[in-house]
Chains A and B, each alone.
Chain A
Amino acid sequence: MAVETERPAAPPERPVAAARPRPKREREEELLVWPDLVFVEFISAVLFTLTFMLLSVFINAPLLNRANTDITPNPSKAPWYFLNLQELLLHMDKAWAGVILPIMFLGFLAVIPYLDRSSEKQGVWFGTKYSARIALVAALYAIVVTWGLVLFDDGERSKFEYATRWIPSCDMNAESGQPEAHQFPPCLVDTAAGHQGIVRASVDLQGPPQGRFMFSVGSLDWPADVDHIPWPFNDNKVGCWSFKNIHGWCGEHFNLAGTFAQQIFPLSTIAFLTVLIIYILFRIGWVRTTRDVMIVMFTGALSAYLTLTIVMSFFRGPGQDLILPTDIKVDCGTLPSPPGCP
């Protein structure tokens, strides 16, 4: 028509690069939830239902004898997901192992996104360049280090005593059965009384010092001379002050050996080993962003958690001694009797 012919000619189209396909629009990359996603969800639900039905038909949930507070099983163990805490309790102060460190772990998990503020590299598995190998190294490191520490701290009480055999034994007084005073070089007391790790020192102020690791500098003995240090102003003249179980200066003493063995040494070991692996990976250039640091810490923490769970589940026998899984005796005091019982 005439009107159309009067229009100015359209500007020539820009040449299109033939090799470059048009980027797909957002909407074209999307699928409908029904049926594409609902189908996947339905199939996985059906598969899991079938699997657990079959599992439940063939494997029964355990039911032992009726609860009896007079019969303590040896060892008694927590539910499997808390066994790591129970394992940790053997190696350090119970408040730290049982309460503070788990809360710190959950707290660390919760603040991860507030530490790692970058929003890049999300939505793909192992987004940064080295993250997969960082995760692998951190996992292996945590497993090896955790096992090493468990074996080291367990010392003579287990079948794994070679972990500490390079430390000489202390000279014992034949008459009293107690270790001789003034031991040098540093040595280990061989004892079978209770679970005593290598740096373990009793926080119980009654009785003789029970630390396994002993040494002397001049006439000063570790731990005998440092587990009963009076607080300053310990004369009780200003009166006793206490709230709940926070005690004031009521004639109490400071157990340096116990504090060191139960808190300072284990906690600084954890902190040092964490910083060490991050520093090493940083120096060789694998750890470059906060995200990478988070990967190291998250992977390491989870691997240590898992390793401690495995140690407590499969390697702890009566008295929480470290033994091989094959040596764990079945408890025959249950009904129905497990296989291998008369």
Chain B
Amino acid sequence: MAVTEEPGKPRNWQERLQILQDRLYDRLFHNFVWRSIFRSGYPNTPRSQMLVVATNVFLHLHPTRIHRTHVKITHTYCLGGLTFFMFIVLTVTGVLLMFYYVPSTETAYQDIAALHTNVKFGLLMRNLHRWTAHAMVILVFLHMMRVFYTGAYKPPREFNWVVGVTLLFLTLFLSFTGYLLPWDQLAIWAITVGHGIAGSAPYLGDEGQFVLFGGFEIGQPALIRFYTLHVLALPLLAAIMMAVHFWRIRRDGGMARPL
């Protein structure tokens, strides 16, 4: 005798709960709004899992498959990915900080001080921005060491290593340009040291100093230059180089592994 459960007649409270859950799930995930955003359900077959990586705008920089050894945490320690993640955190917190910051020598310091006292979560955002910036510099170096000591720069990945060196330079320069913006004693004197170093360049010292700092001392021209470089030019350049960097990993045959 074919036994079919009688629907709609819950016998105890567990079954009532189950029905409630199912209805809730249906309402949440099987409606036309949700379906308009996520065209297919949770990817639970190999085919749909590959498709979601290949077709999702945020995931498509990945390959759809990856060698078993590369998922091991000790192979990369996620260093490159974490560097990129730091960049994302810095972008988000940086945008929030930009709402409150005016790059003028008159107001810059008060704006930063106001973040500490007047702005809800302003200090938290500033702290996050600062510590993740330091972390990004450290992670870039660690990532470079990982790539070097695993020999991952070797052919055919030579050019991607060069792109990486460019990104190292951009990261340092991004951090350096951000250092001046609080316009406090720490900022101005640290940048003054950098100003002196730039001025010592042979043959181009004075010109280089003038291009970067807008004058022979740290003032409003230097602040607006550093601000523009820090919030616009360098992040844009870094984002482009990162796109190239990530794309080249796949074009060069994925992550390095023994031949």
**Residue positions of A touching B, CB distance < 8 A:** 27, 29-38, 40-41, 44-45, 48-49, 52-53, 55-57, 59-69, 71-73, 76-82, 85-86, 89, 94-95, 98-100, 106, 109-110, 112-114, 116-127, 131, 135, 244-246, 291, 295, 298, 302, 334
Contact = CB atoms under 8 A, between A and B. Distances in A.
Contacts of A30: 65-68
The 4 A-B pairs at the shortest CB distance, nearest first, are namely A56-B127, A123-B257, A113-B158, A98-B197
Contacts of A34: 43, 49-50, 52-53, 59
Interface string B184-205: 1111111011101110111111
B155 A109 contact: no
Contacts of B127: 55-57, 59-61
Residue among B145, B156, B188 with the highest chain A CB neighbour number at 10 A: B188
Interface residues of B, number: 94
Interface in B78-97: 78, 81-82, 85-86, 89
Nearest to B125: A56
Interface stretch (B25-33, B108-116, B224-232): B108-116
B67 A29 contact: yes
Nearest to B68: A29
B186 A126 contact: no
A295 B116 CA distance: 46
Nearest to A127: B151
B128 A110 contact: no
A278 to B, nearest CB: 17
B21 interface: no
6 contacts: A37-B62, A60-B116, A64-B184, A65-B184, A118-B154, A120-B154
B85 A122 contact: no
B184 A63 contact: yes
B123 interface: yes
Nearest to B139: A48
A67 B59 contact: no
A121 B258 contact: yes
B interface, over-half SS: helix
A204 to B, nearest CB: 15
A77 B190 contact: yes
B63 interface: yes
B46 to A, nearest CB: 6
Nearest to B134: A80
Contacts of A33: 49-50, 53, 59, 62-66
B124 A56 contact: yes
Interface stretch (B11-19, B175-183, B236-244): B175-183
A56 B172 CA distance: 22
A48 B257 contact: no
Contacts of A244: 203-204, 206-207
Nearest to B65: A30
A117 B109 CA distance: 51
A120 B259 contact: yes
B255 interface: yes
B229 to A, nearest CB: 15
Contact of B71 (A40, A69, A110, A135): A40
A124 B185 contact: no
Contact of A110 (B81, B162, B201, B255): B162
Residue among A32, A36, A55, A99 with the highest chain B CB neighbour number at 10 A: A32
A138 B210 CA distance: 40
A330 to B, nearest CB: 13
A32 B131 contact: no
Contact of A36 (B43, B71, B169): B71
Contacts of A89: 197, 200
A114 B52 CA distance: 37
Residue among A68, A94, A135 with the highest chain B CB neighbour number at 10 A: A94
A255 to B, nearest CB: 16
B38 interface: no
Interface in B117-155: 123-124, 126-132, 134-135, 137, 141, 144-145, 148-155
